[in-house]
A and B are shown apart, each in its own frame.
Chain A
Amino acid sequence: MKKYDKAFLHKLLYEMMLIRHFEEKAGQMYGLRKIGGFLHLYNGQEAIAVGAVAALDLSRDYVLTGYRDHGHALACGTDPKPLMAELYGKITGCSRGKGGSMHFFDAEKHFLGGNGIVAAQIPIATGVALAQSYRSDGGVTVCFFGDGAIHQGAFHESLNLAKIWNLPVIYVCENNQWGMGTNFRRVSAVDDFSLMGNAYGIPGRQVDGMDVLAVYEEISRAAEDARKSGLPTFLEAKTYRYKGHSMSDPQKYRTKDEIEEYKKQDPILILQDRMEKGGQLTEKEFHDLEARVKAQVDEAADFAETSEEPAIHTLYEDVLAD
C-alpha cells in the first residue's frame, strides 16, 4: 500500500463510492417510476471499471462496454448529471434521452458506450484498436463484457483478428458468475476463462475483480504491453453483482446467504480497510467522501428531475449526419 500515492487511493475510493451511490439512487428512482425499461446495476463490480480506467490515459485510450455501463461511464469521468438525466430520458441526458441506461456515451471522454447486444461491443472495440494501430498513436482500447458474452461468436472472431493484426486491445471479462439467471459453470466448457485468450495466442490471466489495486496493476501491465508491441491481453476479473440482472429479476436462482457472503469481500470495504490500516484514510476523511458522493448524486437527481423532456421534433434528429 505504501507505494501508492494517498491522493490516488482517495480517487479510487471516491470513484467506487460514487458509482455505488449513483446505482443506489438509480434503483430508488426506478422504484418511483422515474426511470423505465431495463436498468442493470453495477453494485459489487465497481473495482473493475475504476481500477482499469485508472490505468489509462483517456486522451488517447478508449473504453467500451455492454449494457451494464453506468460504472464505466462514471469511471471515465463523465459528469453524473447528464447520466442520471439520461436515465430519466431527459433532453439534458448524455444521449439526449435517446439511449437510456444501456446506451451511455461520452465521445469527449473516449467512452464509446454502452451496447445492448451481448458481445456486440467486442468487435467494435477491436476496430477502435485497429484505428489506433493504423494511426500508430500509441493508444489502447479496453473492452469490458460479462461472462454471458464470452460464448458469442463475436468474442471469438474478435480475439482471432486482434492477434493476427497485433491490435492494442485489452479484453476484460467481468465474470460476475451469473449470465442473467444462469450460473456461468452451467454454460461454459471451461471454468477458467483465461484459457480463452490462450486459445488465440493471447496472454490470458485471472485477476481478483474485488481488489481495485489488483485490477489497476493488471491493466497497467497489459496497457504497457499493448503500447509497446501491440499485444492484446485477455483478463478474467472474478467478481459478483449484488443486484439482480436487471430491476425485474426476482433472483430465484441464488440464495440471500450467497449474496451476503460476497458482500464480505466488498471492493469498497477492502480498499477502505487497507487504507485505514496503512494510515492513508481517517474516519473523518471517509465521512467527507461519503458526504461528497451523496451531494453529487443528489445534485444529479435534482438536475434530472428538473430537466426538460425532449421536444417532439428531436425524434427526427441524429438519424443521419450531414
Chain B
Amino acid sequence: MPIITYREALNAALDEEMTRDDKVFLMGEEVGEYDGAYKVSKGLLDKFGPRRVLDTPITELGFTGLGVGAAMAGLRPVVEWMTHNFALLALDQVVNNAAKMRYMSGGQFTMPIVFRGPNGPAEYLAAQHSQALQSYYAHIPGLKVVAPATPYDAKGLLKSAIRDNNPVVVLEGELMYAWKGEVPEEEYLVPIGKADVKREGKDVSIITYSKPLKVVQEAAETLAGLGIEAEIVDLRSLRPLDEETVYASVRKTNRAVVVDESWPVASVGSHVAWLISRNCFDMLDAPVELVASEDVPMPYNHRLELAAQPSAAKVVAAVKKVLYRED
C-alpha cells in the first residue's frame, strides 16, 4: 500500500471530491496561488481553476459567512481556516448560523459545509498560535466534529465530511501534516461517528484522538516493556461520539486513561472521562485518569511548551496510577 503524508491524504480527498461533484469548492486564505499555507491545497488551483479554488482576503468572519450562504443556496463549500486560532473570529457564523439554521427553520435547510484547518499546539508559536480549541465546536449541537490522527483517517474522514449534509469541523494539526502512513489507492470512506481501536490490549484502555495518538503509541510501547498491554481507542469523531467502542474497551480492561491535548476544564477529554465513570461505573477497578494540557496558556520556550502538553511519560504515569503500580 502506498505510504503518503497526512497533507497528501487531505489533498487527495479534496481532489477526488472536487472531481466527483462540481458543487464542491474550496475557499480560504492562500489556498490558491500560494498552494496553501501548509500546502494541503497544492495543485488544486491549476487543476480546477479560480471558480472552484478561491483565495480570500484575511476576513475569517466574512468568508466563513459566505460559505454558510453558499451552502444554504445548494453548494458544498470547503472553508479552509489557516488555523483554528484565527477561526475564533468566525465563531459567530459557525455557532449561530451553520449549526442552527436547520433547527431554527424547522428543518427547511441543509448545511453541507466543511470547516477545516490545523488545530492544537505546534512548536515555538506561543499562546495565540498554539492551542487546541475543539471544545468550542464539540459543545455545539448541529455541528459534527472530526479529528483524524493518521493519513488514512484524514482522507477517509474529509471525504465523508464533504459528502455530509451537515456542517462538519475537521481538526487537523500543523505538526501532523508531515506524518506518514499507508493509504490505499482505491477509493474509501471513513464514517463519521466511528472510533477505531488502534492497538489491542487487555490491561488498560487509553482513549485519545488527534495528535496525542503518537505519544500514546510511544507510551504503549514503554508499557509493553513493563508487561502492561494497553488498548488504544482513537475517537476520530468528537461529535457524534462513538461511546459504544469506548465502553466495549473499558468493559474489557476495567481501567481507563483519557488523553486530550486541550485544557482540562469542560473539555472533550473531561466529558469522555465522565461518560466512562457514569456508564462503566461497575466495571471500573480504578477512577478514570485524564491527561490533558496543563491549565495555562502556551508559552514560547520549548522546554516549557513541552511541559505543558501530554507526553508519553505523563501517559505512562497515569496508566500506572490506574493499575496501582506507582513506583
B67 to A, closest residue via Cβ: A127
The reply to whether A160 and B109 form a contact with Cβ atoms under 8 Å apart is no
Determine the distance from Cα of A134 to Cα of B109 in the docked complex, in whole angstroms. Answer: 19
Name the one of A62, A112, A120, A126 contacting B96, with C-beta atoms under 8 angstroms.
A120
Given the known inter-chain contacts A103-B104, A161-B63, please indicate yes or no for A321 contacting B166, CB distance below 8 A. Answer: yes
Determine the distance from Cα of A62 to Cα of B108 in the docked complex, in whole angstroms. Answer: 15
The reply to whether B73 and A132 form a contact with Cβ atoms under 8 Å apart is yes
The reply to whether B106 and A95 form a contact with Cβ atoms under 8 Å apart is yes
Name the one of A99, A124, A132, A319 contacting B105, with C-beta atoms under 8 angstroms.
A99
Given the known inter-chain contacts A161-B59, A161-B62, A318-B107, please indicate yes or no for A131 contacting B165, CB distance below 8 A. Answer: no
Determine the distance from Cα of A247 to Cα of B101 in the docked complex, in whole angstroms. Answer: 25
Determine the distance from Cα of A128 to Cα of B325 in the docked complex, in whole angstroms. Answer: 60
CB proximity to B under 8 Å, residues A291-322: 317-322
B75 interface contact, C-beta 8 A: yes
A157 to B, closest residue via Cβ: B62
Q: Which A residues lie within 8 Å of B25 (CB)?
A: 134
The reply to whether A319 and B141 form a contact with Cβ atoms under 8 Å apart is yes
Q: Which B residues lie within 8 Å of A154 (CB)?
A: 61-62, 65
Interface string of B259-280 (1 = CB under 8 A from A): 0000000000000000000000
- Minimum CB–CB distance for B24 against chain A, Å: 11
Name the one of B64, B101, B106, B165 contacting A123, with C-beta atoms under 8 angstroms.
B64
- Minimum CB–CB distance for A94 against chain B, Å: 7
A189 interface contact, C-beta 8 A: no
The reply to whether B70 and A319 form a contact with Cβ atoms under 8 Å apart is no
B92 interface contact, C-beta 8 A: yes
- Minimum CB–CB distance for A307 against chain B, Å: 13
The reply to whether A158 and B66 form a contact with Cβ atoms under 8 Å apart is yes
CB proximity to B under 8 Å, residues A125-161: 125-132, 134, 153-154, 157-158, 160-161
Q: How large is the interface on B (under 10, 10 to 19, 20 to 34, 35 or more residues)?
A: 35 or more
Given the known inter-chain contacts A117-B96, A120-B92, please indicate yes or no for A98 contacting B104, CB distance below 8 A. Answer: yes
The reply to whether B51 and A134 form a contact with Cβ atoms under 8 Å apart is yes
- Minimum CB–CB distance for A67 against chain B, Å: 12
The reply to whether B105 and A157 form a contact with Cβ atoms under 8 Å apart is no
The reply to whether B70 and A93 form a contact with Cβ atoms under 8 Å apart is no
A96 interface contact, C-beta 8 A: yes
Name the one of B57, B105, B141 contacting A113, with C-beta atoms under 8 angstroms.
B105
Determine the distance from Cα of A64 to Cα of B61 in the docked complex, in whole angstroms. Answer: 18
The reply to whether B102 and A165 form a contact with Cβ atoms under 8 Å apart is no
The reply to whether B104 and A157 form a contact with Cβ atoms under 8 Å apart is no
The reply to whether A107 and B70 form a contact with Cβ atoms under 8 Å apart is no
Determine the distance from Cα of A153 to Cα of B75 in the docked complex, in whole angstroms. Answer: 25
A115 interface contact, C-beta 8 A: yes
A7 interface contact, C-beta 8 A: no
Q: Using a Cβ cutoff of 8 Å, how many contacts connect chains A and B?
A: 146
A107 to B, closest residue via Cβ: B108
The reply to whether A160 and B68 form a contact with Cβ atoms under 8 Å apart is no
B126 interface contact, C-beta 8 A: no
A164 interface contact, C-beta 8 A: yes
B85 interface contact, C-beta 8 A: no
- Minimum CB–CB distance for A129 against chain B, Å: 8
A122 interface contact, C-beta 8 A: yes
Q: Which A residues lie within 8 Å of B73 (CB)?
A: 62, 112, 127-128, 131-132
B93 interface contact, C-beta 8 A: yes
B98 to A, closest residue via Cβ: A124
Q: Which A residues lie within 8 Å of B166 (CB)?
A: 320-321
The reply to whether B106 and A97 form a contact with Cβ atoms under 8 Å apart is yes
The reply to whether B61 and A157 form a contact with Cβ atoms under 8 Å apart is yes
Determine the distance from Cα of A191 to Cα of B318 in the docked complex, in whole angstroms. Answer: 63
Q: Which A residues lie within 8 Å of B65 (CB)?
A: 120, 122-124, 126-127, 154, 157-158
B142 interface contact, C-beta 8 A: yes
- Minimum CB–CB distance for A203 against chain B, Å: 20
A178 interface contact, C-beta 8 A: no
Given the known inter-chain contacts A160-B59, A318-B102, A320-B102, please indicate yes or no for A105 contacting B109, CB distance below 8 A. Answer: yes
Q: Which B residues lie within 8 Å of A103 (CB)?
A: 104-105
Q: Nearest 5 CB-CB pairs, A to B?
A: A127-B69, A123-B65, A157-B62, A96-B106, A127-B66
Residues of B within 8 A of A (CB): 25, 51, 54, 56-57, 59, 61-75, 77, 92-93, 96-97, 101-111, 141-142, 144, 165-166
Residues of A within 8 A of B (CB): 62, 64, 93-99, 103, 105-107, 112-117, 120, 122-132, 134, 153-154, 157-158, 160-161, 164-165, 317-322
Q: Can you name 21 A-B pairs with beta carbons within 8 Å?
A: A98-B104, A113-B101, A113-B104, A113-B105, A115-B97, A117-B97, A122-B65, A123-B64, A123-B65, A123-B66, A124-B66, A125-B69, A127-B65, A127-B68, A128-B72, A131-B70, A160-B57, A160-B59, A160-B62, A161-B56, A319-B103
Q: A117-B97, A321-B111 are in contact. List 19 more A-B contacts (CB 8 A).
A: A95-B106, A95-B108, A98-B106, A107-B109, A117-B96, A124-B97, A126-B65, A127-B65, A130-B69, A131-B70, A131-B74, A134-B51, A157-B62, A157-B63, A158-B65, A160-B57, A161-B59, A164-B57, A318-B103
